[in-house]
């Protein structure tokens, strides 16, 4: 064959044959691809199982934190940090998984498609050139490519997790090992990046990435359980085991019962703590413990109720006795208080729930059984709620503003160092009603000429309105008939002009005067047109 010269066409055919031979040699069997799909599905199922177990552990952890925050807070904060670090790494690996699928399969163009497409349905799952280019880029050994970034993020996560559980850096407890020795089929040394992602088919890459996610979940589960065991109830690792009281209501009406639950932040399900409560004291001592009322409970929780027969503040104290692992009796004291208030009733007509714009609206805000200084009142943004002067019979003034249609007054109370919502009430916001324009107290009817001249002004008067609302008359028109002609005279302000006075002086009996187009400005700044005044000279 070497005795003749090959034509370009023969060289091209020979080259194509060599490429085909290489592709056949590298071809992955259908059975192998299906095996990767099955393994990947199993790994994803394992991830779901880990996620569910972690959710349960975090739920139990949160419960312990709510029971005894002073002791558990440090561990709970660390657990939340572990969760954040784990989720960040998992999201990063998930993003790589979607990105390498998009880079390898031309038919998958979005992250959503990559994330939801079943591995077995991906046409490019047997490709290795595009995945290798994705993970290695221009880096020969992968250390400066995406694969290298992944390795560094895994190592950083693993280092922090080992520090939390006080394990050395070379510990293999948490998995996620990247610092071992790796060799290819020819026994040539490889980097971690080459061992996992160099000329590895896409199906294998996706499976490896999912396996890494499972290892992250596993490490998170191990670390969180380690933190949780630091505060578990079974071995009494608490510095203190505090009794907690959770009351349904710290404020009751006379005749009702005060109800609460008391439990220890940690308890042994194999023993039944002894719980005793005594009313009217701040603490239980060896002298008064014999008078304390024993109460039974279940699952470490004891429910009790105390009477509310008399009005006023009440207090109580109790003791929980449990056995520690050494058999010694441990005493845990608790105490609490509540308020018994007399029954009270507030009746308000619905149509009177109104704040008027431009005037001081008096409001009384109180909570039976609580001092005013412990109450904090609030009102809808835009309106003002100010303290009223002493001795007024009410404690607040509401100042409503123009443009507001409704206002809500709410109140909270400071009780035992915490703020309690005491409810709210909604009011309509309206402008002050129009006053009635009068002269000498009259709107219509007959009037003495001298009385009309003496009055000399239009006065706006509020009828059946309890607030002091002052209106200012800016202008009006007086009209009358003289010798068969209608004579109108206009003036500024609320007093009669000289022309008006002269006409009134020469008026005859039965002559009518009409005061109309009365323009006035209310306390809210709005202009009003008041009703006509119709008077007849006697």
pLDDT at 228: 85
pLDDT at 350: 47
Q: Which H or E run contains 304?
A: strand 301-307
pLDDT at 490: 95
pLDDT at 518: 95
Domain boundaries, the chain: 23-229, 243-341, 350-431, 436-537
> Binning pLDDT at 50, 70 and 90, where does residue 262 land?
low
> What distance in Å separates the CA atoms of residue 260 and residue 336, rounded to the nearest whole number?
10
* Percent share of the chain, pLDDT over 70: 79
> What distance in Å separates the CA atoms of residue 151 and residue 248, rounded to the nearest whole number?
52
Question: Residues in the chain, how many?
Answer: 538
Does residue 448 have a pLDDT over 80?
yes
Contacts of 333 (CB under 8 A, 6+ apart): 243, 283, 284, 317, 318, 319, 320
Contacts of 298 (CB under 8 A, 6+ apart): none
From the list 26, 435, 376, the residue with the least C-alpha distance to 201 is 26
Q: Tell me the pTM.
A: 0.42
> What distance in Å separates the CA atoms of residue 178 and residue 158, rounded to the nearest whole number?
10
Architecture of domain 243-341 in this structure: Sandwich (2.60)
Contacts of 366 (CB under 8 A, 6+ apart): 372, 375, 395
Q: Write down the CATH number for the domain with range 350-431.
A: 2.60.40
> What distance in Å separates the CA atoms of residue 258 and residue 251, rounded to the nearest whole number?
8
What is the DSSP secondary structure assignment for residue 266, as one 8-state letter? S
Does residue 341 have a pLDDT over 90?
no
> Binning pLDDT at 50, 70 and 90, where does residue 252 land?
low
Same-fold call for 243-341 versus 350-431: yes
Does residue 205 have a pLDDT over 80?
yes
């Amino acid at each position: 064959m070497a005795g003749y010269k090959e034509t370009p066409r023969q060289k091209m055919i020979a080259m194509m044959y060599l490429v085909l031979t290489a592709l056949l040699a590298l071809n992955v069997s259908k059975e192998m691809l299906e095996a990767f799909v099955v393994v990947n599905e199993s790994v994803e199922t394992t991830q779901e199982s880990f996620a569910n177990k972690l959710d349960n552990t975090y739920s139990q952890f949160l419960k312990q934190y709510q029971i005894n925050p002073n002791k558990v807070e440090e561990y709970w904060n660390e657990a939340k940090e572990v969760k954040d670090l784990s989720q960040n790494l998992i999201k990063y690996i998930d993003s790589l998984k979607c990105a390498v699928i998009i880079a390898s399969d031309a038919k998958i163009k979005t992250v959503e498609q990559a994330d939801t497409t079943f591995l077995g349905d991906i046409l490019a799952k047997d490709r290795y050139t595009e995945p290798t280019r994705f993970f290695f880029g221009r880096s020969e050994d992968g250390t400066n490519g995406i694969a290298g970034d992944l390795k560094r993020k895994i190592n950083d996560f693993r280092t922090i997790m080992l520090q939390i559980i006080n394990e050395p850096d070379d510990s293999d407890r948490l998995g996620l090992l990247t610092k071992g020795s790796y060799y290819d089929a020819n026994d040539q040394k490889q980097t971690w990046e080459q061992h996992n992602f160099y000329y590895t088919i896409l199906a294998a890459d996706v499976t490896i990435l999912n396996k890494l996610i499972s290892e992250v979940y596993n490490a998170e589960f191990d670390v969180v359980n380690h933190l949780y065991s630091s505060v578990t109830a079974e071995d009494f690792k608490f510095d203190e085991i505090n009794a907690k009281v959770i009351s349904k209501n710290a404020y009751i009406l006379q005749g009702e019962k005060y109800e609460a639950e008391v439990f220890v932040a940690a308890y042994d399900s194999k023993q039944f703590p002894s719980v005793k409560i005594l009313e009217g004291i701040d603490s239980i001592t060896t002298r008064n413990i014999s008078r304390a009322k024993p109460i039974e409970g279940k699952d470490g929780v004891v429910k009790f109720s105390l009477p509310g027969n008399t009005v006023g503040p009440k207090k109580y104290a109790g003791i929980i006795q449990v056995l520690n692992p050494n058999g010694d009796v441990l005493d845990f004291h608790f105490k609490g208080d509540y308020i018994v208030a007399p029954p009270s009733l507030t009746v308000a007509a619905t149509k009177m729930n109104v704040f008027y714009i431009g005037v001081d609206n008096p409001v009384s805000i109180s909570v039976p059984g609580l001092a005013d200084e412990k109450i904090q009142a609030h009102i809808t943004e835009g309106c003002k709620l100010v303290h009223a002067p002493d001795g007024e019979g009410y404690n607040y003034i509401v100042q409503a503003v123009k443009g507001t249609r409704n206002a809500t007054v709410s109140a909270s109370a400071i009780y035992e160092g915490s703020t309690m919502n005491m409810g709210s009430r909604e009011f309509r916001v309206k402008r002050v009603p129009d006053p009635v324009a009068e002269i000498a107290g009259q709107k219509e009817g007959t009037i003495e000429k001298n009385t009309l001249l003496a009055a000399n002004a239009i006065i706006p008067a509020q009828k059946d309105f309890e607030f002091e609302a002052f209106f200012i008359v800016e202008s009006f028109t007086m009209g009358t008939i003289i010798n068969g002609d209608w004579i109108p005279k206009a003036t500024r302000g609320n007093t009669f002009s000289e022309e008006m006075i002269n006409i009134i002086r020469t008026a005859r009996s039965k002559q009518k005067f009409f005061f109309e187009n009365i323009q006035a400005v209310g306390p809210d700044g709005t202009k009003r047109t008041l009703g006509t005044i119709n008077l007849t000279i006697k």
